Amino acid sequence: MRTPANSALPRSVREALAKLGEDIAIARKKRRISTVSMAERAFISRGTLHKVEKGDPTVSMGIYATVLFVLGLSDGLRQVADRTRDSLGLDIEEDRLPKKVQPRRRKRGLS
């Protein structure tokens, strides 16, 4: 990622990722898996695993997901934005949601 979303992440986002990284490290230790072994199982380098356990935002989602999978925790991913839990926004049945979001148009000829 080479976007401001990298260097200038909102505090709460940075904290959420940091917590995720910590939780991953704890889960790994609970399972008595070394960083070397974990890196091998996830097909990544030890350095990248270290970033994951720090909650580094530049690491790809696929790598996070694979690490979680190795830990048997990938189900958590499915619930992150689960529809049934999402109370915000319009309360419309999924089928009736517009496929494209389009603002109400102005009549032609108005300044």
Partner DNA sequence: TATTATTGTATAATATAATGAACAAATAAA
Partner DNA sequence: TTTATTTGTTCATTATATTATACAATAATA
The residue among 60, 26, 55, 16 whose CA lies nearest residue 42 is 60
Dist. CA 85–CA 63, nearest whole Å? 26
28 touches a second copy by CB under 8 A = yes
102 touches DNA by CB under 7 A = yes
The entry of DNA, a second copy, none that residue 40 binds, CB within 5 to 8 Å by partner kind: none
Q: Which of 10, 72, 89, 98 lies at the binding interface for DNA (CB under 7 A)?
A: 98
> CB 37: neighbour CB atoms within 10 A?
13
Query: How far apart are CB 111 and a second copy at their closest, in Å?
Result: 24
27 touches a second copy by CB under 8 A = yes
The entry of a second copy, DNA, none that residue 95 binds, CB within 5 to 8 Å by partner kind: none
Instruction: Using alpha carbons, list the distances in angstroms from residue 74 to 70, 78, 91.
Output: 8, 7, 28
45 touches DNA by CB under 7 A = yes
Query: How far apart are CB 76 and DNA at their closest, in Å?
Result: 20
Vertex 25, ends 21 and 28: CA angle to 5°? 140
1 touches DNA by CB under 7 A = yes
Check if the beta carbon of residue 67 is closer than 8 Å to that of residue 54.
no
46 touches a second copy by CB under 8 A = no
